[in-house]
Each structure stands twice: as C-alpha cells, then as structure tokens.
Chain A
Amino acid sequence: MKEGGDSGLERLSSGVTGLDIILGGGFLAGGLYIIQGQPGTGKTTFGNQICFNHVAGGGQALYVTLLAEYHARMMQHLSIMSFFDISKIPDQLTYFNCLQVLHDEGLKGLLALLRREITTRGASILVLDGIVSARRAAEDEEAFNQFVHELQAIAIATDCTMFLLTSSRGTQVTPEHTMVDGIIEFTDQLVGWSAESSLQVIKFRGSASLRGRHAFKITGKGIVVHPRIEALLARPSRPDVGGTGRVSSGLDQLDVMLGGGLPTSSTTMIMGPSGTGKTTLGLQFLARCSEAEPGLLFGFYETPARLDAKIAGVCRPLRGLIDQGAVEVIWQPPTEDLLDAYGERLLQAVQRRKVKKLFIDGLGAFRQASGIEPNRIGNFLTALMNEMRVLGVTTVYTLEVPDIMGPSIRTPIGDLSSLAENLVLLRFAELGARLRRLISVLKVRDSQFDGSLHEYVTSDQGLVIEATADSAERIMVGLANLREDEQDGITQPREGRDLL
C-alpha cells in the first residue's frame, strides 16, 4: 500500500495503527530500516504485521529468518492475530530460512539469494529477521558494512522496502545505524508489577517524525501504537480563533456566579472531595446539549449502570438526550489502558461527532494511567485541552481533591492554572451535626465573576444553589450569627468556631 508523501517520496503504509502518524505518513518505499529491541518486545509480530498488511493490499512480501526459529511455530503464534491470513501464503507472502545459506555461502551467497528472490517474486517488502546472524557471519566490521551497503543498493534498485530485525544494542551506535534510512527501537519497561511497551523512532530520513517514546500494546489486531499526545498535538491542529460568548454551565445560578456562564471553548475544572456532587454538576452541564451542540461524557469511575441510576436520580433531562444521540457516553475503567490510548479515544470521539460540550469525569484517571511518567500529565492535559479549545469544545472536568484546608488546595496533578481556565470548587462544611455543601468560583478566563461562597443542596433536580451568599456566610462564621429559627435540626452547636 503505497502513497505519495509531502516530500514527493513514495510512502509505504506500515499497517500498524498509529505508527504511520508517528512516521509522518509511513516508511519510504525502497528504504532500509532497522527495527531493534530486546527479545520479546514485539519485533517479529511487527515484521509479520507489516508483511500481511502489505499483501492484503495486493503486494508481495518475503519474510526471511536468519535464526533457528521455526516458521510453523511462528505461524501458530501469529494465527491468533486478526491480520494473519494464511491464504496469502505462499503466493504473496513467502517465508524462508536462510541461516544455512549464510553458513554455507556467507554474506555474498545470502545477498545473491535475496536479490534473486526479490526480483523473481516482485517482492516490495523484505523482512530479514535475525540480522545478528549476518553480523556474526561477517569476517569483520568492514564486511558487514559492505553487506548492508549492498542490501541498500538492492532495496533502491528493486523498490523493495527492507526491515532488518535485530536485538537491541542499547545506546551503542554501529556503522549500520549510520547507513540505514531509519531506526525504530522497541522497549519493555517494568512499572511496579506491570510492564509498558514503547517504541522510539531514533532516526528517520526523508521527513520529520514524532520524536520521543510512544506507548504501544500487542493486541489481537497486532501492534497498536498510541502516538504521545503532547507530541502529536505539540501544535494544535488549527489556529485558536478565540471563542467568544458564553455557554451555560447547566445551573442558572452558577452561570450568574460565573459572570454569564462558561466562556465558549474554555476548560473548567470542578474540584472537590468525593460526594460533593462533581459528577452531578457535569451531568447538568451536558443536559443543555442539543443535536446542534452535541455532548460527550468521557468517564472512568462511574460505571454505565451507576451513571444510568445517577441520571435517573438527579438529571433526568439528560436521559432523553443520550437516547436521541445528542450526548454520547464513553466509559472505560481507569485501569484498562494507556494514557495516550485514552487521549486518542477522546480525540477521535470529539472529532467524530463534532462535540461541542465535553465532560470528563475523573481527571485523576489520566494521572493513574500515566504510569511510568507521572510528570507527563501536565503537558498531556495542556496539549489535549489546547486542541479542544481550537476545536471549539467547551470542556468541563472533575478532579477529586481531598485536601481543602482554608485557602490552600493541594491537587494530585500540580499547577491548576495551566490546566483550566475556570476553576469551580465544591466543598463540605460541618455545621453542628449537619454537613453543608458550598460552591465557589475561583477563576474565570478574562472575566469578572462572583467569588463568594454559595450554599447548595443536591436534589432530584441536581445541584440547587442558593441565590445569595448569605447562608454560606453564616456557615463560615459558625453559629454566632445564626438566628434561633435557623437552628432547626442542628444539634450540639459549636459556637464561634470556624467550621471548615
């Protein structure tokens, strides 16, 4: 499957989900590439996936092993992959083992055989698995360099893209690294008890590539790569034209406190401890969606069943919107996937339905998924939210913040101001034996707002916020100002004490 690229060089799709994006469109046709990584990192799956994808598009491919690995066994392992199609073997995809040729006839003999087979079969992809054997067979470094050089000449002359699979050599740079058109390194790294796979394009001639590490998984579909979101969206996909106007938060009183609603295309973080009603507020935000302004609920912690129950209990208008398709619900457990996989899924859902109102319930899940690099979360979210902004999406997300002591708010994800343009805080306050809820707006992008605390209650209508700050003020100063008729239901008052 060949395609023209921006540079005019013909591209060959890898067929590996996500990789072509990282490579800026695929491999260069007729190029020579090293795929390196420790045993078990997925090189053989990768090599086969590329071959099967190529033959599925009508091409011819050769898979040549220089290892004591048996093709029958390899095929048994591959047969569970969806890309594996035995009907393509041997007419379009042929497997050879050339280890003995290498032993008997050396590198010259191997080159001659490869050239003949590529030409005879019209192969436009060659995977050479176990290049370490060729290196061992070489008399010296010069002989091996000559082999790589001649292989490259064959690749160019036959328009056959070649992949040399080899065990990782770490940071050591060998002469063949300087000769080939590209190098991709596969790595496995332990994170606590689990392992994370990633790849890095170390070198890529002919065009820019997304630098740095990118996580991947080996699934039933083969290797699925998730380009690092902050690399993919280093620059938003389009200019930020600066949204004007306001979008309802879903609560009229909160809109008043915000100075007229949420600024269009802005990001809003709803913070607060568990049980304050953050999810309910998000549901109410989505309940103002329409077919013209579709919404998306991207959740982690509330299962679909629990969400349904919550919607029935506190935000019934949303049910109809979901049923009509104006609001989509995407739920996944926070332990299921990679950070970039979540980001990718979110982006795709937003783009697919041209979402205008996005509610991410449980920002902490992103941090949990950042695994190996928890410090990535700031850049990840900044890139993601910048993209949402240019796509005209007004985003609301929740973050559980357990520690709220007076004016100090400690969050698990660091600097808040870079992650949200608007901040809304929900908190509990004890008044006697009764738990009260308070809401306040801490920040609104380029706008005046009502920064005072307001008391709110949860009801079958969702959150209902007091129109004035009076009751919140009385709560904040304790019972000193409470009139007798307001003390109904309050037991064991602790007078004069700051109850927060």
Chain B
Amino acid sequence: MTGIVLVVDDEFGIAELIDAVLTDEGHRVLTAINGRQGLAMMAKERPDLVFLDYMMPVMDGAEVLSAMAGDPSVAKVPVVLMSSMPETTVAERCSGYTAFMRKPFKIAQVVTLTVKLLNRDGPDGQGAL
C-alpha cells in the first residue's frame, strides 16, 4: 500500500533523504521544515503517515503531537517521532506518537516502518504495530 507521507524536519538533508527513499517506493511525500509549516500542510492535505522530528525551531515535535491530538481530522494519523536523543528522554516530554526512530537511522528502517504503519489493520492505521 502506498500513501501520502509528510516529513517534518529542520535538518533538510534528512527530510530530502526520506523524501527520495519513499518516493522511490511509490509514496507521495511532502516536506516541511518546522512544526508550524507541517501543521499547515496537514490542514491542506491529510497525510497517511508523518515522520516528525522532535527538536525544531518555531514549533517542535511535542507541540505538533499536541496539536494533532486536538484535531480530529489528523488525530489518528500515525506518527514516527525522530530524534538524536534516546526515546526515554523524548518520551518524558511528549506522547501520542506511534513509533520512534533514533537518528542517525538506516534507510531500511524508514522503509520498514512505512510499510508497517501504512498496512496496519483497522481504520486510520491504528492497529497493532
């Protein structure tokens, strides 16, 4: 299954890499350089999956997750939270993400997670990961 994937990351090299990898896999990929820009994109076009960086200027990953949770139109979109920090550190500061990917990551992780999250059972991909 292919879908629309939104990548939100200030490290644009990473956003572009995920874009290139997932485009090759047949997905349509949108990119944003901060949380605010990412939410604006979600408002225009609902993504099927979001790769979200934790530490960003203007609006960080925690704020985006909080905003998504309060917006029924995107509340159930699966989110892969990305960070250079360990998940335990990030988890103390935010919740609501579906999977965690620590940077630096391998391309195979991106592809595997995307396949898993887009092919989960249940509406809006909320089945078990």
Contacts and interface: CB of A to CB of B under 8 A. Distances in A.
A86 B57 contact: no
A90 B85 contact: yes
B72 interface: no
A87 B12 contact: no
A320 B109 CA distance: 65
B11 A70 contact: yes
SS class of chain A's interface: helix, strand, loop or mixed?
helix
Interface residues of A, number: 24
B104 A96 contact: no
Interface string A89-116: 1110011111111001000000001001
Contacts of A117: 57-58
A151 to B, nearest CB: 16
Contacts of B54: 90
B110 to A, nearest CB: 14
Contact of A98 (B57, B60, B93): B57
A59 to B, nearest CB: 18
B58 A71 contact: no
Given A95-B84, A104-B33, A113-B57, A72 B12 contact: no
Contact of B57 (A68, A75, A91, A101): A101
A73 interface: yes
A70 B103 contact: yes
Contacts of A70: 11, 13-14, 103-104
Given A71-B55, A99-B12, 16 more contacts: A71-B84, A72-B102, A72-B104, A86-B85, A89-B55, A89-B85, A90-B85, A94-B55, A95-B55, A95-B84, A96-B10, A98-B10, A98-B57, A100-B10, A113-B57, A116-B57
24 contacts: A70-B104, A72-B84, A72-B102, A89-B55, A89-B84, A89-B85, A89-B89, A90-B54, A90-B85, A91-B93, A94-B55, A95-B55, A96-B56, A97-B10, A97-B11, A98-B10, A100-B10, A100-B33, A101-B33, A101-B57, A104-B33, A113-B57, A113-B58, A116-B58
Interface of A: 68, 70-73, 75-76, 86-87, 89-91, 94-101, 104, 113, 116-117
